[in-house]
Amino acid sequence: MIVLRDAWRYLTTSSSWTGDNALLDRMAEQLLLTVTALLVAVVVALPLALWLGHVGRGGFLAVNISNVGRAVPTFALLAVLVKLDWPGTGTFGPYGRAGLATLMALVAFALPPLVTNAYVAMREVPAEMREVADGMGMTAWQKFVRVELPLAMPLVVSGVRLALVQVWATATIAALVAGPGLGRIITDSFVRTQYGRGIGAALVVAAVALVLEVLMAGLARLVVPTPVSRGSTNRGRASVEESKVPG
């Protein structure tokens, strides 16, 4: 109870949020890490996974990329990267000490859900929809853009949402190599036995994860078209049939 009381006091004190190395500064650093890693992973993973799903090949490659990414602990990968001459522990612009190594580890962590969801989404497009597109004389590119991608979009967006939340929560490991982010507050607090401060920062990480989840869910509703209900489809078919009946 004392720790929770200290955490509440820390979170409700204005000086905890503003100033150098305060919560807002560290939150901005972690958001920068998270968004950058996610964007790089999206650029690398989605085109490859969507193409493999479109051509119906490379399932073994897609699955194994995901399995390897899940099997390798992000912290272990980060520990290896910072020991190498490149990327090492050097400061990388606004990403701080070992910034490049941290970004590479987070990108690798984001790849599995992106690759898996995008590939599976393309393969689950109904075969009859592809046949209809072929019957209409669509080119491969037209079929991909007009038919397959819109139908696959819900699962693709779900993979991006999952990767975003996971990368945000995992970005705290940057503190283990003296990098930026809220993890610095957490680790420094526990080293100094300021447990309330550390718990407070951890609660902020959890709260921001929930906010990101809600924001991505809202974005998904804007990006993904609302499916037409079966009832409205049947009514539409009935009206078409009625229009064909001679008066």
pLDDT in tens, the chain (247 residues): 789 999 999 999 999 999 888 999 999 999 999 999 999 999 999 998 999 888 887 777 777 767 777 777 898 899 999 999 999 999 999 999 999 999 999 999 999 999 989 999 999 999 899 889 889 989 889 999 999 999 999 999 999 999 999 999 999 999 999 899 999 999 999 999 999 999 999 999 999 999 999 999 888 888 765 554 444 444 433 433 343 444 4
Answer yes or no: is 167 within a domain: yes
Domain count, the chain: 1
Answer yes or no: is 34 within a domain: yes
What is the 3-state composition of the chain as percent helix, strand, coil, each rounded to the nearest 5?
80, 0, 20
> pTM of the prediction?
0.85
- Rounded Cα distance between 153 and 53, Å, is 13
Answer yes or no: is 128 within a domain: yes
pLDDT score recorded for residue 225: 59
Answer yes or no: is 190 within a domain: yes
The C-alpha angle 119, 214, 161, rounded to 5 degrees, equals: 20
pLDDT score recorded for residue 230: 43
- Rounded Cα distance between 58 and 48, Å, is 10
Residue 161 domain boundaries: 19-244
pLDDT score recorded for residue 20: 82
pLDDT score recorded for residue 246: 45
User: What pairs with residue 91 in β-bridges?
Assistant: 97
Answer yes or no: is 5 within a domain: no
Q: Taking a C-beta distance cutoff of 8 angstroms, is the pair 172, 183 a contact?
A: yes
- Rounded Cα distance between 120 and 53, Å, is 7
E strands along the chain, which residues? none
Residue 246 is classified by DSSP as -
Answer yes or no: is 2 within a domain: no
Residue 125 is classified by DSSP as S
Answer yes or no: is 4 within a domain: no
CATH of the domain at 223: 1.10.3720.10
Assigned token pair, 147: 């038919």
Q: Taking a C-beta distance cutoff of 8 angstroms, is the pair 175, 114 a contact?
A: no
Answer yes or no: is 56 within a domain: yes
Q: Taking a C-beta distance cutoff of 8 angstroms, is the pair 92, 112 a contact?
A: no
